[in-house]
């Protein structure tokens, strides 16, 4: 199991889906389901996770792309990368996935 960390962009999208004029409870439910699967197993078949080529701003890191919805013109994705891992109170490694962006396919 991975702990999820969110960039400001990803966090902002979750906030927009949760409240305000662009709140979308249906989309939020799909996002939360995909995030739970990502945390449990990034290779879960339904996520269709694959490495993303040339992600803007992350040219040296390996960035991954996972499905929130099936492939359609308005399909949403989670863009993420492994790490950086953290240590718990006992000094043990805690695996982390950093969620970079949540939104429409780039």
Q: How confident is the model at residue 62 (pLDDT cuts 50, 70, 90)?
A: very high
pLDDT given for residue 22 in this prediction: 82
Average pLDDT, the chain: 92
How is the chain split into domains, by residue range?
3-104
Closest CA to 102 of 30, 22, 50, 41: 30
pLDDT given for residue 18 in this prediction: 94
* pTM score of the predicted model: 0.91
| Angle between helix 25-40 and helix 8-18 axes, rounded to 10 deg | 140
CB atoms within 10 A of CB 48: 12
CA distances from 79 to 11, 67, 102 (A): 13, 9, 6
What is the rounded CA–CA span in Å between residue 68 and residue 65? 10
pLDDT digits (tens, 9 = 90+) for 12-54: 999 999 998 889 999 999 999 999 999 999 999 999 999 988 8
The CATH number of the structural domain formed by 3-104 is 3.30.2310
Residue 71 has pLDDT above 80, yes or no: no
């Amino acid at each position: 199991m991975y702990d999820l960390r969110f960039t400001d962009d990803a966090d902002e999208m979750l906030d927009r889906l949760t409240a305000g004029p662009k709140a979308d409870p249906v989309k939020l439910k799909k996002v939360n389901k995909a995030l739970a699967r990502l945390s449990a197993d990034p290779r879960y078949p339904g996520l269709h996770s694959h490495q993303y080529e040339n992600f803007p701003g992350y040219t040296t890191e390996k960035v991954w792309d996972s499905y929130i919805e099936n492939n359609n013109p308005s399909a949403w994705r989670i863009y993420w990368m492994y790490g950086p891992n953290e240590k718990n109170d006992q000094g043990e490694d805690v695996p982390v996935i950093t969620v970079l962006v949540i939104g429409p396919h780039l």
